[in-house]
Amino acid sequence: MSLEQTIMQDLKTAMKAKDQAALRGVRAIKTAITMAKTDGTGKEIDSAAEIKMLQKLIKQRQESLKIFEDQNREDLAVKEREEIEVIQRYLPEQMSDEELETRIKEIIQKVGATSMKDMGKVMGAASKAFAGKADGKAISTKVKALLSL
């Protein structure tokens, strides 16, 4: 079942259950899918594009969450946390910190990286390999730490 079909089913379920948090999160995903389908490019939305879209939605909410926490707006921060939780359900399971480090070490050996000058090569391979399974910021932090040893 495609993400769009899953979202439509979950939207109905959330409406029947009157689950406002799930409703907000699912509607945000549905809106993003609709926007992607009608953006004029005519491109089909594949699973990689779906993952990117979901990651973008989470990142937007995390940025808003930080602002709300800085401004002591706990009422709004709670809503953002709920939506992040709902959207994360549709992403593949995230890699653990240890697994991420191990896999990045493998990539570093594979591309023959020896210093920070090779970070671009490693990041390119790692970002492609871990799409949807790890946050870009986490990947970048690990690569910097491992290459600076």
- Tens of pLDDT, residue by residue over 78-104, are 999 999 999 999 988 888 889 999 999
Task: Considering the domain delimited by 3-88, tell me its CATH architecture.
Answer: Orthogonal Bundle (1.10)
Q: Does 97-147 match 3-88 at the fold level? A: no
**Which CATH code fits 97-147?**
1.10.10.410
* Contact assessment for residue 86 and residue 126, using Cβ atoms and an 8 Å cutoff: no
Query: pTM for the full model?
Result: 0.78
How sure is the predictor about 70, in pLDDT bands with cuts at 50, 70 and 90?
Answer: very high
**Per-residue pLDDT tens digits for 100-131:** 999 999 999 998 888 888 889 989 888 888 88
Domain ranges within the chain, ordered by starting residue? 3-88, 97-147
* Contact assessment for residue 34 and residue 56, using Cβ atoms and an 8 Å cutoff: no
Where do runs of H (alpha helix) occur along 18-118? 20-37, 47-70, 74-88, 97-111
